[in-house]
Chain A
Amino acid sequence: MLGPNGAGKTSTLEMLEGMNDIDGGSATINGLNVSQNSYEVKKIIGVQLQANEYFDRLNLIELLILFGKLYSQEIDPITLLEGVNLAEKANAKPEELSGGQKQRFSIACALVNNPKVLFLDEPTTGLDPQAKRNLWQLIRDLNSDGMTIVLTTHNMEEAEYLCDRIAIMDQGKIVAEDTPQNLILKYAPEPPQAALHGNIEDVFLALTGHELRD
């Protein structure tokens, strides 16, 4: 879901996650109506929120075990941390992580229930290019393993790089929805004509002649 700030991306996501009431239309995830089965839906989705804060004084392993318990599941925290390249930080507290590590950890938390659909809300906002690329790779890997990923962003490059389908939102409405390729074909302006050979000097010379003016 691509859109400028305030377009309604997060609100839409929160409706899909069962966090906000759906005030118009309906949403279905894996055949379940979200409004009617929000509890069941929560069992099969994983969610990474824009702001990720955790209980104080717990390390990454303890937090992952806690999240697992909330889904009534026994999990292997180290395997999950390895999956997001954070195994060496297993005993660290979230506040000791860098921005990129925090985002990767929040994805690990969202994966504890091995969700069918993973929701990521602006996962790379505020990350440096290395951390961003690293996270993109993680998202691609999860997707290629068969997980459906719904992510919001206002970064065009990210949308183009990661997504199979893009919904462009503005003022609470989806204004276009298709594969990145089709969207480009449909909406991108004609490519500008190739720049003419030469520069302003050529123009100057053409207008004023080549003769020497001694």
Chain B
Amino acid sequence: MFTSAQLHLAKVFLKIFLRNRQSIFFSMLFPLIFTGVFFFSGGPSDPIKLGLVNMSQSSIASQFSDLVIAEPSFNVTKGSLIELREELIIGDQTAIILIPEDFTFIEGSSQLSLILDASQVRQASSIQETLENSLLAIERDVRGIKPMFNLVVEDVQARPQRYIDFLLPGILAYMLMNLCIAGSGFNIVEYRRRGILKRLFVTPIQPKDFIVAIILSRMVIVLTQISVMLGLAIMLLDINVVGGLPSLYGMVILGTFIFLCIGFFLGSLAKTQEAIQPIVALTSFPQLILSGVFFPISSMHEFIQPIAHVLPLSVVVSGLRGITNDGMALLTLNSTTVGVGIWMGISFFVAIKYFVWKEVAN
């Protein structure tokens, strides 16, 4: 399957990587930090600091006040408007709720005020939503009625799905893309600049041999990195790979192949180290936005959807997501696996066809 030159070259690349302690340290640190960020950012957020000014003596006001205080997403401080306003200005409070003197239960007449600092406006909607729910609860209580409707969110495939479950395959694919393009694109420009590729070119090896060798060696490195990240995700974030790890690893291998080949192509396109960076950025950032890493492609503008669906990162994201979330098997024949197959062909073809051994004049 592989020639002895390809295997030996792959072993040499791996040896070079393993002898570079700094690169090992950072490549293992990267998935650790990555998962750590999700782990620590995924927990419950701090309660919103809320000042409460109750100017009313009515029982309704105190009932409402108690409900607001009991709300776990709020950290409520009671006090006078003047001192709370001071605290709001210096940032010790996020918002102030003002219960007016005439806060009584007369239909449509009671008005609450929410005083906000404009810089905290991001949290206004969640404060507003919680307040409205509290008011509704009081109103029902006072009127003595029970809620008529109850909204139960149920997943169509009867499995609990959190945002992290949606996000992780996307992030995994994006990380894969970055690791691979850096591993092939940047390396190849450097090897070419130093004349190492030229030296190889006067021996009877072909672009295919060189590319296959780098793919094999990077595959080992990338799979190790992904395993660290995945292991942590399974342990710390309680991620469940519905479709099974063999399929997931299979898809990671195919994705690695695609992105390494794209990296080779970009590395041949860029004549200098300075040029490779913007070229890589231009390739990866639009894909980060358009490939459904953070939100589904179907929520994008209809105009952009057909393009977004066929991007290489999109097919890998969709493949990984299909396996982790929907239990898709790697060998299933569907639009995603066909897309992966097509991108493998295209990327390998352009990587070999446009491979440049020599430093070329600008």
Contact = CB atoms under 8 A, between A and B. Distances in A.
A66 interface: yes
Interface residues of B, number: 25
Contacts of B203: 42, 67, 70-71, 113
Interface in B7-54: 8-9, 12, 15-16, 19-20
Given A17-B202, A42-B204, A49-B198, A57 B5 contact: no
B14 to A, nearest CB: 11
Given A19-B198, A52-B199, A69 B16 contact: no
A58 B4 contact: no
A53 B204 contact: no
A214 interface: no
Nearest to A46: B202
A42 B202 contact: yes
A17 B198 CA distance: 11
B205 interface: yes
A113 B204 CA distance: 11
A58 B15 contact: yes
Given A47-B202, A49-B198, A66 B9 contact: yes
B81 to A, nearest CB: 68
B16 A18 contact: no
Size category of the binding interface on chain A: 20 to 34
Nearest to A119: B202
A58 B18 CA distance: 11
A188 interface: no
A173 interface: no
A50 to B, nearest CB: 9
Contacts of A57: 15-16, 19-20
A160 to B, nearest CB: 28
A66 B66 CA distance: 77
Contact of A19 (B5, B19, B20, B201): B201
B278 interface: no
B358 interface: yes
A21 B93 CA distance: 74
Interface string A38-57: 01001101010101111111
Secondary structure call for the A interface: loop
A208 interface: no
Contacts of A19: 198, 201-202, 357-358
A72 B204 CA distance: 9
Contacts of B199: 47, 49, 52-54, 109
A72 B15 CA distance: 20
A128 interface: no
A109 B198 CA distance: 14
Nearest to B358: A19
A33 to B, nearest CB: 16
A62 interface: yes
Given A18-B202, A39-B204, A42-B203, A49 B12 contact: no
A53 B198 CA distance: 10
B353 interface: no
A105 B214 CA distance: 25
B23 to A, nearest CB: 10
Nearest to B201: A19
- Give the one of A17, A43, A52, A65 with max B CB within 10 A: A52
B200 interface: yes
Contacts of A67: 203
A19 B191 CA distance: 17
Contacts of B196: 53-55
B194 interface: yes
Interface string A132-170: 000000000000000000000000000000000000000
Contacts of B201: 19
B20 A69 contact: no
Contacts of B206: 39
A52 B205 CA distance: 18
Given A18-B202, A66-B9, A51 B195 contact: yes
A163 B9 CA distance: 37
B199 to A, nearest CB: 6
Given A55-B16, A57-B20, A72 B198 contact: no
10 contacts: A19-B201, A42-B203, A43-B204, A47-B202, A51-B195, A53-B196, A56-B16, A57-B15, A62-B15, A70-B205
Given A54-B196, A72-B3, 10 more contacts: A19-B198, A42-B204, A51-B195, A52-B199, A53-B195, A55-B12, A56-B20, A66-B8, A67-B203, A113-B203
